[in-house]
């Protein structure tokens, strides 16, 4: 069994290795090799995957041929119990020495010490050291393993914080660059128009009107950029506030027709409406829903060349009364989205390298956030040369009302009056009768 002085020296060396960065070569492999054979016969380090890092399993053994046996045994245990359950057991059960011995036995090791690797309070992995052929392990050895596991957890937590900070800085720099560019375009247009109006030669009436329309479009675009940025901040703070109400699909579709038919005509596009008759009302925020459809239709018309087709569809999804909803979709006959780009179309500030950038890269991400705030999902399918299709499904108002529990509302205490929904009255009457 390693002496205490050797253990703490090795602990310092492990800390030094980790401090150089988890991405600098095979850091985890170096850690296990530091521990074997000087402090243990075998070292097992397992880290479950997270959003940023893949699963890692490192095994070092004084008999290199046996390292593969231990690795295979742990893989079998993980496939049998699952990493989440194993790590839960690690934090709950391994406080008992019998459970620790059981885990060691499953791995074909005579004995040793096991400790969970935690990131914050969440278990992320395990560290196991097996000592000697007899598997002897005293309190100092167990403390050594726990100290190692804690040191690894601290480094993992620091690495996560550094990655989050780097992403935040990169996103901030990207946002500043994009917004300055996109605000610069309408500002330059406004400056040109005002210079023309203030020039030494008076402009004819028709030119003044044309300039005014250009100014109006430029300021509207700037307001849209500001609204997108505010929605971006709101989504960072949590789900967008949604004011649900019964929303008529036909009214919404007619609003979209009035808004985008002139734009389609100007760009030489065919704008088709495919809306089923007598669709039920949906449970939605009509203003937010209009925002989503405007974004999807605007993108479709922006990237569809003249002579193409953009279609807004609305149809019943499912049988009435049996999970009914209304599926909205916006399709186009444009160039389509490359397969490598599809996973990123809803990312903040993202622009495809295959096409020119002509907006802030906020619209689709905001549309996704709005639909998710409604409890639904915004989906996309596309292929190069075959156009794109975005869709989502919202529940009908009748379906949502049918799922709601009976209302039970109380006036302020000083009023002394209780208002009950009719459906709640029988239960109240029965309870009062039984009390009488």
Domain annotation for the chain: domains and CATH numbers: 4-163 (3.30.450.40), 175-237 (1.10.287), 245-401 (3.30.565.10), 405-435 (no CATH)
Between helix 286-303 and helix 363-373 the angle, nearest 10°, is 150
For residue 406, what pLDDT band results from cuts at 50, 70 and 90?
Answer: very low
Beta bridge mates, 114: 128
Supply φ then ψ for residue 57, to 5 degrees.
-140, 115
For residue 171, what pLDDT band results from cuts at 50, 70 and 90?
Answer: low
Q: Give me the mean pLDDT over the 368-388 stretch.
A: 89
Does the pLDDT of residue 55 top 60, yes or no?
yes
Q: Give me the mean pLDDT over the 202-228 stretch.
A: 78
Does the pLDDT of residue 2 top 60, yes or no?
no
Q: Say what the pLDDT of residue 304 is.
A: 92
Does the pLDDT of residue 417 top 50, yes or no?
no
Q: Which region among 139-148, 319-328, 373-382 has the lowest average model confidence (pLDDT)?
A: 319-328
Chain mean pLDDT for the chain: 77
Does the pLDDT of residue 408 top 50, yes or no?
no
For residue 242, what pLDDT band results from cuts at 50, 70 and 90?
Answer: confident
Q: Give me the mean pLDDT over the 310-318 stretch.
A: 91
Find the length of the chain.
Answer: 436
- In which residue are the tokens 């991400």 written? 365
For residue 249, what pLDDT band results from cuts at 50, 70 and 90?
Answer: very high
More confident residue, 113 or 19: 113
For residue 392, what pLDDT band results from cuts at 50, 70 and 90?
Answer: very high
Does the pLDDT of residue 178 top 60, yes or no?
no
Q: Give me the mean pLDDT over the 406-423 stretch.
A: 37
What does each C-alpha distance from 3 to 141, 155, 278 come to in angstroms?
Answer: 9, 25, 82
Neighbour count for residue 234 (Cβ, 10 Å):
15
Does the pLDDT of residue 321 top 60, yes or no?
no
Supply φ then ψ for residue 412, to 5 degrees.
-55, 150
Q: Give me the mean pLDDT over the 228-245 stretch.
A: 70
Q: Which helix (H) or strand (E) holds 405?
A: none
- d(CA 106, CA 110) in angstroms, rounded, equals 10
- d(CA 232, CA 404) in angstroms, rounded, equals 31
What does each C-alpha distance from 191 to 29, 184, 211, 358 come to in angstroms?
Answer: 61, 10, 11, 20
Does the pLDDT of residue 430 top 60, yes or no?
no
Q: Say what the pLDDT of residue 284 is.
A: 92
More confident residue, 235 or 14: 14
Q: What is the pLDDT of residues 341-365, one digit of tens each?
A: 887 788 766 655 555 445 556 778 8
More confident residue, 175 or 262: 262
Q: Say what the pLDDT of residue 237 is.
A: 59
Q: Give me the mean pLDDT over the 1-20 stretch.
A: 75
Q: Say what the pLDDT of residue 251 is.
A: 92
Strands (E), 203-267: 245-247
- d(CA 74, CA 49) in angstroms, rounded, equals 15
- d(CA 351, CA 337) in angstroms, rounded, equals 11
More confident residue, 112 or 436: 112
Q: Say what the pLDDT of residue 185 is.
A: 60
Dihedral of alpha carbons 192, 193, 198, 202, sign: positive
Supply φ then ψ for residue 413, to 5 degrees.
-55, -35
């Amino acid at each position: 069994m390693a002496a205490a002085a050797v253990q703490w020296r090795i602990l310092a060396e492990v800390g030094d290795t980790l401090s150089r960065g988890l991405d600098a070569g095979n850091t985890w492999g170096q850690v296990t090799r530091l521990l074997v054979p000087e402090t243990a016969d075998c070292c097992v380090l397992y880290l479950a995957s997270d959003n940023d890092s893949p699963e890692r399993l490192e095994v070092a053994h004084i008999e290199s041929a046996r390292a593969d046996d231990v690795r295979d045994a742990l893989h079998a245990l993980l496939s049998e119990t699952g990493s989440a359950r194993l790590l839960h057991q690690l934090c709950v059960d391994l406080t008992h020495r019998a459970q620790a011995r059981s885990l060691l036995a499953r791995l074909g090791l005579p004995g040793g010490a096991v400790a969970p690797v935690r990131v914050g309070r969440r278990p992320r992995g395990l560290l196991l050291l097996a000592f000697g052929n007899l598997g002897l392990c005293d309190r100092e050895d167990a403390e050594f393993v726990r100290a190692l596991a804690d040191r690894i957890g601290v480094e993992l937590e620091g690495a996560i914080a550094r990655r989050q900070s780097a992403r935040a800085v990169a996103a901030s720099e990207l946002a500043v660059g994009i917004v300055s560019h996109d605000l610069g375009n309408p500002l330059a247009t406004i400056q040109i128009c005002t210079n023309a109006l203030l020039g030494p030669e008076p402009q004819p009436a028709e030119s003044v009107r044309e300039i005014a329309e250009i100014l109006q479009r430029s300021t509207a675009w700037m307001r849209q950029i500001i609204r997108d940025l505010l929605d971006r901040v709101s989504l960072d703070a949590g789900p967008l506030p949604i004011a649900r109400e019964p929303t008529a699909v036909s009214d919404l579709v007619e609003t979209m027709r009035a808004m985008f038919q002139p734009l389609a005509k100007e760009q030489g596009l065919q704008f088709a409406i495919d809306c089923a008759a007598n669709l039920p009302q949906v449970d939605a925020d009509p203003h937010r829903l209009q925002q989503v459809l405007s974004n999807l239709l605007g993108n479709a018309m922006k990237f569809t060349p003249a002579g193409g087709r953009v279609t807004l569809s609305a149809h019943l999804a499912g049988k009435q009364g049996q999970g009914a909803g209304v599926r909205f979709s916006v399709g186009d006959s444009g160039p389509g989205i490359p397969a490598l780009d599809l996973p990123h179309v809803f990312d903040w500030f993202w622009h495809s390298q295959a096409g020119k950038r002509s907006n802030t890269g906020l619209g689709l991400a905001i549309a996704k956030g709005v639909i998710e705030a409604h409890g639904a999902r915004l989906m996309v399918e596309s292929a190069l040369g075959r156009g794109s299709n975005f869709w989502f499904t919202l529940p009908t108002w009748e379906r949502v009302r049918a799922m709601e529990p009976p209302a039970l509302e109380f006036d302020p205490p000083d009023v002394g009056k209780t208002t009950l929904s009719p459906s709640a009255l029988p239960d109240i009457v029965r309870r009062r009768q039984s009390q009488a």
